[in-house]
Amino acid sequence: MLSKQSEDFLVKLRVELLFRGKKEEDIEEIEAELRDHLETAEQQGENVHAIIDTPIKAYADQFSKHLPFINLLTKYITFYVLFLFALFTVPDLFAQSYTLTASTILNAIFTLLITVILGLYMIRKLILTFGDSKKTYIFGAMGGILLFGLIVLSTFLAHHFPLYKIVTLNQQESNIVGIVLLMLVTMICYILKQKIYALILFLVCLPNMIALVMTQNGSRTYYLIISLSLIIVFNIAFIVYTFYQFRKDSKSKN
């Protein structure tokens, strides 16, 4: 069993190498070797501070020279950016009408920037600063709430200040485009073996799809009520499930 300081060192090194775009298999191999070395040294009462007190960047530089630079991080970020764009676009197409505005595009760009660039920077900074500690989770949660608040504010402003209407689709047109994009994104997710993202997109679209079926030729108010109600129900179910899994994992570790 490694000490807390050694575990933090391994976590920080892993994050640093991941953010440099190194192969995960190579990182796991390095981590396993270091873990064995640190465990043996600690069991024999040797001082490991010469290793764990080394600056993470300097230590990562030693391995960077021997690892092939396969930038998996770039691939995943690109996929995540495209997925976020679909996540903020496709559900809105399952509505009684859809209007693409300049504000919608600006909102999508802003959302992508703060979630990918700012979000990844925040995660990396927290882990490298605090390691696997409570502060990382607390500040991470606070940062996540802040980012979510910025996204909500940006979306609110985009809906109330459209700036310029680019194109307006009627219900039939928007639904057809929505179905085509949903199928296309789902197919891409399956090809890239990221099925969970296809499921997430479908679940996000589901409240709008159900509301649309239940309010055929109905009022916009009823559509919004049903859609928002289902979104709230799904969110509560997700929170309960996440909490249940967290409790289950905690008990299994103990």
- Tens of pLDDT, residue by residue over 100-148, are 899 988 988 888 788 777 877 787 777 777 766 678 778 888 887 888 7
Residue 239 belongs to what domain range?
72-253
Cross-strand bridge partners of residue 167: 100
Determine contact, residues 91/204, Cβ cutoff 8 Å. Answer: yes
Q: What is the CA radius of gyration of the chain?
A: 23
Sign of the dihedral through C-alpha 107, 113, 116, 120: negative
DSSP states of 135-153: HHHHHHHHHHHHHHHHHHH
Q: In the chain, how many domains are there?
A: 2
pLDDT attached to residue 69: 46
pLDDT attached to residue 137: 77
In this structure, are 60 and 77 located in the same domain? no
Write down how long the chain is: 254
Longest distance between any two alpha carbons in the chain, whole Å: 76
In this structure, are 234 and 113 located in the same domain? yes
In this structure, are 84 and 132 located in the same domain? yes
In this structure, are 57 and 93 located in the same domain? no
Q: List pLDDT tens digits, range 168-190.
A: 998 889 989 999 999 998 898 88
Within 8 A by CB and 6+ apart from 161, the residues are 103
Ranges of the chain with pLDDT below 50:
68-70, 218, 253-254
In this structure, are 215 and 134 located in the same domain? yes
In this structure, are 161 and 178 located in the same domain? yes
Q: Which amino acid is at 170?
A: N
151: phi then psi, degrees, rounded to nearest 5: -65, -45
In this structure, are 248 and 147 located in the same domain? yes
3-state secondary structure of 243: helix
Domain endpoint, select from 48, 64, 80 = 64
Q: Taking the model in full, what pTM does it have?
A: 0.55
In this structure, are 40 and 97 located in the same domain? no
Domain endpoint, select from 29, 44, 64 = 64
User: What is the C-alpha to C-alpha distance for residues 138 and 116, in angstroms, rounded to an integer?
Assistant: 20
pLDDT attached to residue 247: 61
pLDDT attached to residue 70: 45
In this structure, are 40 and 123 located in the same domain? no
In this structure, are 101 and 39 located in the same domain? no
Domain endpoint, select from 64, 86, 108 = 64
Give the position of tokens 């055929």. Answer: 216
In this structure, are 59 and 159 located in the same domain? no
Q: How are the residues of the chain apportioned to helix, strand and coil, as percentages rounded to the nearest 5? A: 80, 5, 15
In this structure, are 115 and 171 located in the same domain? yes
